[in-house]
Amino acid sequence: MALHKSDDNVKKIVVCGNGLAAQMTVCALARQLPDQIQLTWLRIAGSEQSDIFYGNTAPPATYEFNLNLGISEPELLSGSEASFSFGTRYQNWGGAAWTQCFQQPLPIIDGVLFHHYLSQQNIFELEPFLVSAVAAQKGAFAHPPEDRRHALSRAEYGYHIDPLDWGRFFERMVPRDRVDIAAGEIADIVVHDGDIETVRLSDGRELVADLYVDGSGAGAVFLSSLGVVFKAERRLAAHMQYRPLSGAEGVVRTLTGCDFGWVSDTPLQSQVATLTVFDPQMPGQAALIAVPEGAAVAEVPIGRHPIAWAGNCVAIGQAAGVVEPLTAAPVVLLIRDVDRLLSLLPNTRDMRVESREFNRQYDEDYRNAGLFHRAFYEGHAFPDTSYWRAARAQPIDERLSAKLAQFESRGLHVAYDLEPFTQEDWLILSYGMGRRPGRYDRIADRADRDRVRQFLSGMRQDIERCVSAMPNHTDYMQNFMRYLRQQET
């Protein structure tokens, strides 16, 4: 097979946008690309406010993502409002309340998944066996140790974030000598044979590149110029405001279901971010939802493009799809988009192979994230208002039906390719919403029941002892930041 000619290499990349997706993408490309590739950041206004729809929770994968970019956790915490997170506490959610915590895989005993032994022992609660959830109940936090014998080693943690602040952090981490910055308004995008040929700005400048990366938010100015049509399922509005910390905040985001939608409170380092999400067309909603002065406000379509890569243009984050921030999914998917771009960065201007694989993974990611999101609206009596009706309006995907049916029948986890949420995520969600297996794996009966009972009791006691010795999250955070400041001096 003949090697491609060097004059056909990708030499110029233009990233468009001014919000979180563009900020993270530019940061990643600037820190990872070889110097031979010229990187231009086209900063256009208009997408920043919709960044509140990325929500306030970043998953555990954030740590590795940042580390791969050469950004350490101390740099993140010192340079932003981010704080530690054990997950989200859902309350008044169709009558259910639970902690959707981040969790390492639960023990597999004699080849049988952990929850089957709970069913065998007629134990109906999962949270006492989840160290992150128990710690969250007490507002406690500490970094999980590497010693696997320690109860806390099974905890996972992510970060509480303000998406607007987080974007500014990534922007500051961009090596300035690596990026050409162009600010302005787009006057025209010239398309030829399914590719973007030229981007013309209102001041007469022209930008020409081999690859165009669309991080412009829900408007998707690059991708839409190629005729890729966004498929919207519904519209949602949100506003985000802040209040000072009281000192009693915990280590989870607290999300409360309401008639008009939901409200979440997220403790950051120096303040609490309150995000309110609602249906903008709900009759009488103006009387229910007062938008505070100075709050960040946005209204967006929820949905996605059928493909994220068309021709020589690839969309990242909300330019590809907009997800309701009920879970950590918006940031999960954004990180996966950026990682996928880095791994599939084309060598030549013939990008058909890369675009095909990017779109396959993109489709799986968003479909599977949609299953997890939709599972929050199944199995309970929810308010009969426009927000909740719209959330359940789409026919349930047969793959989600299979997941729910198999779990409720015999505790079986049905898994699909490239799922962004883990088996533990699904298990915690199912238990939280009151789903229980009707049967358990009969292989569990090989183990002595008394020994299983002793094991479970010991595990529960170990977690309680561990959490009782952990510091309050607010104190831990303050002491940790004080230590970092001392290290800097």
Question: Mind listing the pLDDT tens digit for each residue in 387-430?
Answer: 999 999 988 999 999 999 999 999 999 999 999 999 999 999 99
Rounded to whole angstroms, what are the CA distances from 132 to 105, 249, 376, 466, 481? Answer: 12, 16, 20, 11, 22
Task: State the average pLDDT over residues 106-131.
Answer: 95
pLDDT at 3 over 70: no
Q: How far is residue 311's CA from residue 438's CA, in Å, rounded to a whole number?
A: 50
pLDDT at 488 over 90: no
Cα dihedral 326, 88, 418, 305 in deg (nearest 10): 20
Task: Average the pLDDT over 13-34 and give the result.
Answer: 97
Q: What would the pLDDT profile of 192-211 be if each residue is shown by its tens digit?
A: 999 999 999 999 999 999 99
Confidence band for 4, pLDDT divided at 50, 70 and 90: very low
Q: Is 351 helix (H, G, I), strand (E, B) or coil?
A: coil
Q: How many beta carbons lie within 10 A of that of residue 312, not counting itself? A: 22
Structure tokens given for 237: 């509005």
Q: What is the pLDDT of residues 307-336, one digit of tens each?
A: 999 999 999 999 999 999 999 999 999 999
Structural contact between residues 239 and 276, judged by C-beta atoms closer than 8 angstroms: yes
Q: Give me the percent of the chain exceeding a pLDDT of 90.
A: 88
Q: What is the torsional sign of CA 213, 216, 221, 223?
A: positive
pLDDT of 469: 96
- The Cα 317–Cα 340 span in angstroms is 12
> In this predicted structure, what is the pLDDT of residue 285?
58
Compute the average pLDDT of residues 127-144. Answer: 96
Please report which confidence band the pLDDT of residue 286 belongs to, taking 50, 70 and 90 as the band edges. low
pLDDT value of residue 284 = 62
Angle formed by the axes of helices 352-375 and 398-410, nearest 10°: 50
More confident site: 489 or 68: 68
Confidence of residue 248 (pLDDT cuts 50, 70, 90): confident
Instruction: For residue range 368-392, list pLDDT tens digits in order.
Output: 999 999 999 997 789 999 999 999 9
Compute the mean pLDDT over every residue in the chain, rounded to the nearest whole number. Answer: 93
* 290 has a pLDDT exceeding 80: no
Spatial distance between the Cα atoms of 87 and 319, rounded to a whole number of angstroms: 26
